[in-house]
Amino acid sequence: MTDHELISGIIDGDESAFKRLVELYQDKTYSICLGYLRNEEDAEDTAQEVFIELFRSIYKFKGESGLNTWVYRIAVNKSLELIRKRKTKKRFGFLNSLFGNEDIIERNYADFKHPGVQLENKERASVLLTHIEKLPDSQRTAFQLHKMQEMSYQEISDTMNTSLSSVESLIFRAKKNLQKSLKYYYENDKTQ
């Protein structure tokens, strides 16, 4: 089934076409969300929201880019949206605790161990993810899609809707910034 056939099937109300689309992209979508959110429950929730959004707005798909890049773009945006919400909650956490709002539970994302990473690399990956989180959104997205999703520069450029040279520059700056912050981290790491 081609992208076009899948989309026309979904628009015509064919449930099997939607199921096929979900099965095709669920792993990559979940993986993208997990890379950003560092929590399996949040990643699953957000991946589901990606497909709900896709289902709602499928008629908007014009076919200018591939269906895969469209799905991944929604996944990136939804993940960043949740991160922004988390930050807002954190900012107003004090007020919420005053009013006894128990829903705001701050998770310790620093302890997250990525399930896809090899066992001997888990600690280092956890450190790297903490430092990636401090990068600006665009640098973070380009770096994560390249390193964690093994996407080519062209795929990243399509997903981020930006030029190839911008992607190169973003990844270069992300690497530089990460090396700098990791150097500072290891130089001041008293536990080593």
Residue 86 or 131 having the CB closest to other proteins: 131
Q: Helix 137-147 to helix 122-132 angle, to the nearest 10 degrees? A: 150
Q: How far apart are CA 17 and CA 71, in angstroms?
A: 15
Minimum distance from residue 175 beta carbon to other proteins (Å): 7
Comparison of 16 and 88: residue with beta carbon closer to other proteins: 16
C-beta of 48: minimal distance to other proteins in Å?
5
- Work out how close the CB of 104 gets to other proteins at its nearest, in angstroms, rounded to a whole number: 23
- Interacting residues toward other proteins by CB under 8 A: 19, 22-23, 26-31, 34-35, 40, 44, 47-48, 51-52, 55, 114-118, 121, 124-125, 127-129, 147-150, 175, 178-179, 182-183, 186-187, 189, 192
Nearer to other proteins, 14 or 93 (CB): 14
DSSP letters spanning 52-94: HHHHHTGGG--SSS-HHHHHHHHHHHHHHHHHHHHHHHHHTHH
Please say which residue, 90 or 186, places its beta carbon nearer to other proteins: 186
Q: CA quadruple 180, 182, 184, 186: dihedral positive or negative?
A: negative
Q: What is the spatial distance between Cα 172 and Cα 176, in angstroms, rounded to a whole number?
A: 6
Residue 28, both tokens: 């990559």
Q: Among residues 22 and 104, whose Cβ is nearest to other proteins?
A: 22
Q: How far is the CB of 36 from other proteins (least distance, A)?
A: 12
Query: Please, which residues have CB within 8 angstroms of residue 9's CB and are 6 or more apart in sequence?
Result: 1, 16, 17, 18, 20
Q: What residue type is assigned to position 191 of the chain? A: T
Min separation Cβ 113 and other proteins, Å: 11
